[in-house]
Amino acid sequence: MATNTLGTAEEQLVVFRLDSETYGIDIFRVNEIIRLREITPIPQADAHIRGLVNLRGKTIPVVDLRSRFGLCSAEASEHARIIVVDTDEGNVGVIVDEVREVITIESSSVEETPPLVSGISNDFVRGVANQDGHLVTLLDLDKALGA
């Protein structure tokens, strides 16, 4: 988290879309964003583990967030991307429908998730931010990528 000249804590988020919902993850966790490419399946892996990709000589696992969140699968569009994120176990790629933008929000604009929220499990969510009249669900990456 950064602090602006007024002393208010800010965070930068990479905002992406899954289905019709908008999500954000801390930009400092993002290593890079790449186009969808050939993914080598892993036999007997969990359904949300799509497989492995070779990224400049490194093999990284790829997680399908649609499957992880229990959303219907969809045809990959030209907008689909793999966001390569840093985790305690190394880099992991996450497939998203579209990367929208990078935004800066004030930490004070982040609210707790209401208890009766439908959609993805609250276990994967660390809060909700209001950005220009649109809600952005903030993911807890460690929980979303965990087993």
What is the reported pLDDT for 116?
A: 58
Angle (nearest 5°) at CA 33 between 29 and 34: 145
Indicate the average pLDDT of the chain.
86
Q: Write the CB contacts of 129 (distance below 8 Å, at least 6 apart in sequence).
A: 13, 24, 105, 109, 110, 111, 135, 136, 138
Task: Identify the band that residue 22 occupies on the pLDDT scale cut at 50, 70 and 90.
Answer: very high
What are the tens digits of pLDDT across the range 35-75? Answer: 999 999 999 998 889 999 999 999 999 999 988 888 887 77
What is the reported pLDDT for 24?
A: 95
- Which domains are delineated in the chain? 2-145 (2.40.50.180)
Residue length, the chain?
147
pTM of the model: 0.86
Which tops the pLDDT comparison, 20 or 121? 20
